[in-house]
């Protein structure tokens, strides 16, 4: 079954879940538990060492602080937030094997190098936005006015086609085929005559079919001359031919309706106003005194009672002892750190793969995609190295703007990441110009990131399948003696900020259960 | 062909449009002409009397003012904006046959009694937002988390069902049927074997089918236990049975995917921040000195040269003479005014029907739809008198909020409008409580409007079909001597603010062409 990359990621590992009884299906979806996190008992000043000042580490420190723990967060970078990072003027990045990059965007402009989107059902992400006072706005993930662009393939190649045209043409042809088949009793779906008739009526409405159940196009796919005042009734084009659509690859996985259909990408979606790292910044304010920046961990040692962390800061190697440790380091990073974990945990750390992914932000003098092309937010999909172009869901009708010029994955991202920074930009501009010729005149400055080449991240997010969920993942669910593992990689919400939050709460609950129990056993602790 | 009401309205009258050659289809959609309105020549202080200070009247005055005309706007109400009206604390309405209603909403809360939505391709509406400095935000028209609610019909009756569940189940069953039919060569669509295989692969992805091309449900339809951290893999319910969906009316016109599919309702959509009448207020600032409020027009008389308007204000009957008149009064209002128009125009005024429609805003203490049910914006659809519930697309995560408790049309709206104000509210609360039991505890105050019972509007918007476009509509496209007709009813953009703007520009162009030409002929004018 061909499914998209993202869909693969989000559905992988769930095939083993038994279908629930039909009775459950009759119930309403329960609201996710988005509310204050209230645990009883006191941490009694136990010292918890947290590795990594990303969302999960800071959230753990924030919640543990409320419970009476003493936390120290060791962070290798000189900034907090980890992958929750928005690129603004002055942001710097030195990828492995690349020169230092400094963002030269105008003040007030940014792009989200990490997570861009908050699904409406990620209740914990929205909960922290509310608790921390981070205002949100709609992330406009679905935009029928954006394009499909199939490079070098078929009769519709090298042509930017509004998504609504393909969506409505394909919907039209498919419903036409099925309506005809049902009508001519070619399909026996075990339906009554009345139900079959209802379905035909539905298909007509769904596909915009005419009275003869034929697809003829409608204004759903847009006008070639807009409707307006007076005698401007609007003019509609003919639909594309189905065979042309197929042969141009526009029904291939590159163009599946993933952006609308997956649970994670269904509208409504949100983003933090001003950049998603506003969430990280708001958390950082709560735990700022606990963070030690520029501390690169080199060893994690479980002790008979407690844990010892070895790290380097600018003054040299240091050691820090604590009662327990919460390690939120991404596994490719952790894999290079000395530890005395069990062989199962060690294997998991070394073998859980991470997503190879890259993004490039491109600043333009003018929001030509809005002014010239009426594209406000949303995503253009391509079959070339760009994979996607994201249009900003903020500052609509503004002067300048930053597009995400590419957002790619796997082999494509690997290939692009191997280019020099200058070559990456050239690629983004050349391929982007095929879709938006305005690039040439309006481009100002760009900034690219390859997450797997970014020190202290070394990947986009953890990738699991059904097998590794049962083996490698399970090995890390329990603490390795005094060390707990947290982060998006310790959840079924990989790649999402919600994973960091859910994981932090989960590990705080486990730590607190252990400590409050222990306190009874070892009152001196 | 069963189509929805709204779709009917927007597609009616277009069937006569000849299909354009395939070559046109190969071209890109041209961007609509959203830009400054630059006409040459000067109006030379000609006096234009504009009837109605709605969007079209004020826009005409604004643009004519730039061209050197002297405009007077006569407005019957004591406010500008016409149907572009947002209900805030202190707003009053006295419908025909009803007592005076005063809105008691909290400061800062509002609902749009008139237009709520701006399609991304309504370039002129967005142009004026930009020119007048009205900030916009996404109107979140499509929300898969909102509900379908079928009252008293079939096995799924009286149950709120997330839209995503029905969308994905129906999509699954339909693609399953078609994939099977194509696979078994029951459908001959004239496709090559390779293309047929591509379609099957596409259908699998589109419908979320398994390897055997069967629909089994997926997390696209949501979880009954959310995925999260640790061992929380998430639990999925069984799909609804297709027969149950059909028999519960969930494939009936009440629930067609109109909100996503029509050109006008495709994402991206916008609203003015703080209420759509911010657009009217911004226009009003530009033309405030020209507006005479409380002036109810009783007669429009073409003179041999010029026009004479009779109106009443609080001091009594008055007359005003001008060179030309732009009449933007809704036709049901104009129908009650004396005039000496041609019999064709007179017939059009009397016979073009208007939409019967009503809305009710309901203020709640708490945004339970967000807090308890994770519904952020979007629309719940019902088969009962409510027809739709609109969730606010603003102030997400805020404290209080106003729902549009019903938005109904035609017979339903007529029936609801006949109720007392108290009964309308009771209906909105009782029916709404079936979906949101929180209503009982959280409701604070409501405000309802029936547009066809609202003086000086007397209807929602003009309704045309293919026949009346060719007869009644055409009769009004040319001026009746010195009187030009403008407003959404003089466009193919009925019900939309864009209709008012497009119409205003169209009529300003016509007036200016006449005057600048006339000026040469009659230099004394």
- Residue A388: the pLDDT is 97
Q: Do the Cβ atoms of B268 and A143 come within 8 Å?
A: yes
Residue A520 CA: distances (Å) to CA of A43, A406, A484, A525, B240: 12, 55, 21, 9, 51
Do A374 and A271 lie in one domain? The reply is yes
Q: Is B177 on the interface with A (CB under 8 A)?
A: yes
pLDDT of residue B19: 27
pTM: 0.91
Nearest CA to CA, how far is B210 from chain A (Å)?
7
Task: Specify the higher pLDDT residue, A186 or A346.
Answer: A346
Residues B324 and B473 in one domain: yes
Residue B111 clears pLDDT 70, i.e. is over it: yes
A214: in domain? yes
The answer to whether residue A24 neighbours chain B at the CB level (below 8 Å) is: yes
Residue given tokens 């046959």 in the structure block: B97
Q: Is the pLDDT of residue B168 over 70?
A: yes
Are A220 and B261 inside 8 Å of each other by CB? yes
Q: Say yes or no to pLDDT of A18 above 80.
A: no
A46 pLDDT exceeds 50? yes
Q: What is the DSSP string of A455-497?
A: TTT-SSSB---HHHIIIIIHHTTS-BTTEEE-SGGGBSSTTSH
Query: Could you tell me the pLDDT band of residue A258, with boundaries at 50, 70 and 90?
Result: confident
User: Half-sphere exposure (CA, 13 Å, Cβ side) for B52?
Assistant: 30
Helices and strands, number each (H, E), in chain A? 18, 23
Q: Which of B434, B453, B472 is the last residue of a domain?
A: B453
Q: Flag whether pLDDT at B163 surpasses 80.
A: yes
| Residues of chain B contacting residue A157, judged by C-beta atoms under 8 Å apart | none
Percentage of chain B with pLDDT > 90? 87
pLDDT at B94 over 80: yes
End position of a domain, from candidates B432, B453, B474: B453
Q: Is A228–B140 a contact, with Cβ atoms under 8 angstroms apart?
A: no
Tell me the residue range of the domain where A228 lies: 161-248
Q: What mean pLDDT is predicted for residues A387-404?
A: 97
| A21 in reach of chain B (CB within 8 A) | yes
Residue of A nearest to B15 (CA): A218
| Tokens encoding A3 | 């499914």
The residue among A466, A468, A463, A476 whose CA lies nearest residue A507 is A476
Query: Band of the pLDDT at B38, cuts 50, 70, 90?
Result: confident
Domain-embedded: residue A133: yes
DSSP, collapsed to helix, strand or coil, labels residue A78 as coil
Q: Which of residues 333-392 of A touch B (CB under 8 A)?
A: 371-378
Percent of chain A with pLDDT over 70: 91
Asked whether residue A233 carries a pLDDT value surpassing 60, the answer given is yes
**Residue A318 touches chain B, beta carbons under 8 Å:** no
Is the distance from CB of B482 to CB of B307 less than 8 angstroms?
A: yes
pLDDT at residue number A9: 33
Is residue A5 in some structural domain?
no
Question: Are A317 and A442 part of one and the same domain?
Answer: no
- pLDDT: is A184 or B69 the higher one? B69
Do B311 and B303 contact (CB within 8 A), yes or no? no
**Cα dihedral sign for A193, A195, A199, A200?**
positive
Tell me the average pLDDT across A348-373.
Answer: 98
For A490-507, how does the pLDDT look when each residue is reduced to its tens digit (9 = 90+)? Answer: 999 999 999 999 999 999
- Are residues A361 and A347 both part of a single domain? no
For residue B170, pLDDT beyond 80: yes
pLDDT for the residue numbered B412: 97
User: Which positions 468-497 of A are in contact with B (Cβ < 8 Å)?
Assistant: 469, 477, 490-493
pLDDT for position A113: 98
How far does the CA of residue B452 sit from the closest CA of chain A (Å)? 23
One domain for residues A476 and A440: no
Q: Is some CB atom of chain A closer than 8 A to the CB atom of B69? A: no
pLDDT of residue B518: 61
The minimum CA-CA distance between A437 and chain B, rounded to whole Å, is 13
Contacts of A385 (CB under 8 A, 6+ apart): A406, A408, A412, A415, A416, A427, A431
pLDDT at B185: 78
Q: Which residues 430-469 of B have a C-beta within 8 angstroms of A? A: 469
- A199 found inside a domain: yes
Mean pLDDT, chain B, whole residue set: 91
- β-partners of residue B160 are B149
User: Which residues from chain A sit within 8 angstroms of residue B147, using beta carbons?
Assistant: none
Q: Which residues pair with A67 in a beta bridge?
A: none
Residue B449 three-state SS: strand
Contact flag A140-B267 (C-beta cutoff 8 Å):
yes
Asked if residue B16 is part of any domain, the answer here is: no
Does B257 reach chain A within 8 Å, measured CB to CB? yes
Whether residue A28 lies inside any domain: the answer is no
Question: Do residues B374 and B237 share a domain?
Answer: no
CA distance A223 to A217: 11
Q: Is the per-residue pLDDT at B521 higher than 60?
A: no
Supply the DSSP symbol for B156.
T
Q: Is residue A12 part of a domain?
A: no
Which residues make Cβ contacts (< 8 Å) with residue A203, sequence separation at least 6? A175, A176, A178, A179, A182, A209, A213, B174
Is B5 a member of any domain? no
Q: How many CB atoms lie within 10 A of CB B302?
A: 18
- The total number of structural domains in chain A stands at 3
Residue A190's pLDDT is 79
Q: Is A174 on the interface with B (CB under 8 A)?
A: yes
**Within this chain, do residues A103 and A191 fall inside the same structural domain, yes or no?**
no
**Residue in B32, B159, B372 nearest the CB of A374:** B32
- Residues in chain A within 8 Å Cβ distance of B34: 371, 374
Q: Sort out which chain A residues have CB atoms less than 8 A from B211's CB and list them.
A: 1
Kindly indicate the confidence band of residue A523, based on its pLDDT and cuts at 50, 70 and 90: very low
In this predicted structure, the answer to whether residue A20 has a pLDDT above a threshold of 60 is no
**pLDDT for the residue numbered B174:** 95
Question: Which residue of chain A is at minimal alpha-carbon distance from B22?
Answer: A238
Residues A137 and A177 in one domain: no
pLDDT for residue B472:
97
Q: Which residue, of A400, A433, A453, is where some domain finishes?
A: A453
Same domain, residue pair B203 and B237: yes
Interface of A with B in 216-255 (CB under 8 A): 216-240, 242-243, 246-247, 251-253
Average pLDDT over residues B71-88: 98
- A172-199 residue pLDDT tens: 999 999 999 998 877 866 789 999 999 9
Angle (CA) B15 B17 B23, round 5°: 130
User: Cβ–Cβ of A186/B191 closer than 8 Å?
Assistant: no
d(CA A60, CA A70): 11
Mean pLDDT of B145-167: 97
Q: For A84-132, what is each residue's pLDDT tens digit?
A: 999 999 999 999 999 999 999 999 999 999 999 999 999 999 999 999 9
Q: Is the pLDDT of residue B248 over 80?
A: yes
Residue A194 sits in a domain whose CATH number is 1.20.1440.240
Give the closest of A164, A171, A240 to B25, CB-based.
A240
What does pLDDT average to over chain A? 91
Q: Residue A473: which CATH number?
A: 3.50.50.60
Q: With a cut of 90, say whether residue B37 has pLDDT above it.
A: no
Q: What was the pLDDT predicted at B30?
A: 40
Yes or no, beta carbons of A493 and B228 under 8 Å apart: yes
**A167 and A225, same structural domain?**
yes
* A348 and A372, same domain (yes or no): no
Q: Is B20 on the interface with A (CB under 8 A)?
A: yes
Q: Which helix (H) or strand (E) holds B311?
A: strand B307-313
Tell me which chain B residue has its CA closest to the CA of residue A478.
B230
Q: How far is B522 from chain A (nearest CA, A)?
A: 28
pLDDT at position A34: 47
CA–CA dist A435, A428 (Å, integer):
11
Q: How confident is the model at residue B257 (pLDDT cuts 50, 70, 90)?
A: confident
Three-state DSSP at A24 gives helix
The interface predicted TM-score (ipTM) is 0.91
Q: Report how far residue B34's alpha carbon sits from residue B383's, in angstroms, rounded to the nearest whole number.
A: 38
Q: Is A6 in CB contact (< 8 Å) with chain B?
A: no
Tell me: the pLDDT tens digits for B470-488?
999 999 999 999 999 999 9
Task: State residue A518's pLDDT score.
Answer: 62
B28–A160 C-beta distance less than 8 A = yes
**Looking at the structure, do residues B271 and B378 belong to the same domain, yes or no?**
yes
């Amino acid at each position: 079954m061909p499914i998209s990359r993202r869909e693969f990621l989000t559905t992988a590992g769930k095939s083993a879940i038994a279908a629930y009884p039909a009775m459950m299906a009759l119930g309403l979806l329960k609201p996710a538990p988005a509310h204050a996190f209230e645990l009883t008992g006191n941490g009694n000043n136990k010292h918890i060492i947290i590795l990594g000042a990303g969302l999960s580490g800071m959230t753990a420190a924030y919640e543990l602080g409320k419970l009476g723990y003493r936390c120290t967060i060791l962070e290798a970078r000189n900034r907090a937030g980890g992958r929750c990072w928005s690129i603004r003027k002055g942001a710097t990045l030195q990828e492995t094997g690349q020169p230092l990059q400094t963002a030269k965007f105008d003040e007030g402009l940014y792009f989200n190098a990490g997570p861009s989107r908050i699904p409406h059902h990620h209740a914990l992400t929205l909960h922290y936005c509310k608790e921390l006072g981070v205002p949100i706005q709609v992330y406009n993930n679905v935009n029928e006015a954006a394009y499909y662009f199939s490079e070098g393939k078929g009769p519709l190649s090298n042509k930017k086609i509004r998504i609504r045209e393909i969506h409505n043409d394909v919907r039209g042809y498919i419903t036409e085929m099925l309506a005809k088949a049902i009508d001519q009793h070619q399909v026996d779906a075990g339906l009554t005559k009345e139900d079959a008739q209802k379905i035909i009526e539905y298909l007509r409405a769904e596909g915009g079919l005419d009275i003869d159940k034929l697809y003829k196009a409608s204004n759903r796919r847009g006008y070639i001359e807009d409707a307006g005042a007076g005698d401007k009734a609007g003019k509609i084009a003919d639909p594309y031919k189905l065979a042309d659509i197929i042969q141009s690859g526009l029904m291939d996985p590159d163009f599946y309706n993933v952006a609308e259909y997956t649970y994670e990408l269904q509208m409504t979606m949100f983003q933090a106003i001003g950049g998603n790292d506003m969430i990280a910044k708001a958390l950082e304010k709560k735990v700022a005194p606990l963070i030690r920046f520029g501390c690169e961990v080199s060893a994690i040692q479980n002790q008979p009672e407690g844990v010892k962390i070895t790290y380097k800061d600018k003054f040299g190697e240091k050691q820090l002892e604590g009662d327990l440790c919460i390690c939120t380091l991404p596994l490719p990073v952790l894999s290079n750190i000395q530890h005395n974990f069990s062989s199962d945990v060690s294997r998991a750390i070394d073998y859980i793969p991470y997503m190879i992914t890259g993004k490039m932000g491109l600043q333009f003098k003018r929001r030509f995609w809005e002014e010239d092309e009426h594209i406000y937010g949303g995503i253009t999909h391509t079959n070339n190295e760009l994979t996607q172009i994201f249009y900003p869901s903020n500052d609509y009708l503004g002067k300048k703007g930053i597009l995400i010029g590419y957002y790619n994955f796997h082999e494509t991202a690997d290939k692009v990441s191997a280019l020099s920074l200058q070559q990456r930009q050239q690629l983004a501009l050349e391929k982007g110009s095929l879709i938006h010729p305005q690039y040439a005149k309006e481009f100002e400055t760009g900034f690219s990131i390859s997450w797997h080449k970014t020190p202290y991240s070394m990947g986009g997010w953890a990738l699991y399948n059904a097998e590794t969920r049962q083996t490698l993942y399970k090995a890390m669910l329990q603490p390795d003696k005094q060390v707990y593992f947290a982060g998006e990689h310790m959840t079924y919400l990989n790649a999402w900020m919600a994973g960091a939050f859910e994981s932090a709460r989960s590990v705080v609950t486990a730590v607190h259960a252990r400590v409050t129990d222990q306190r009874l056993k070892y009152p001196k602790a």
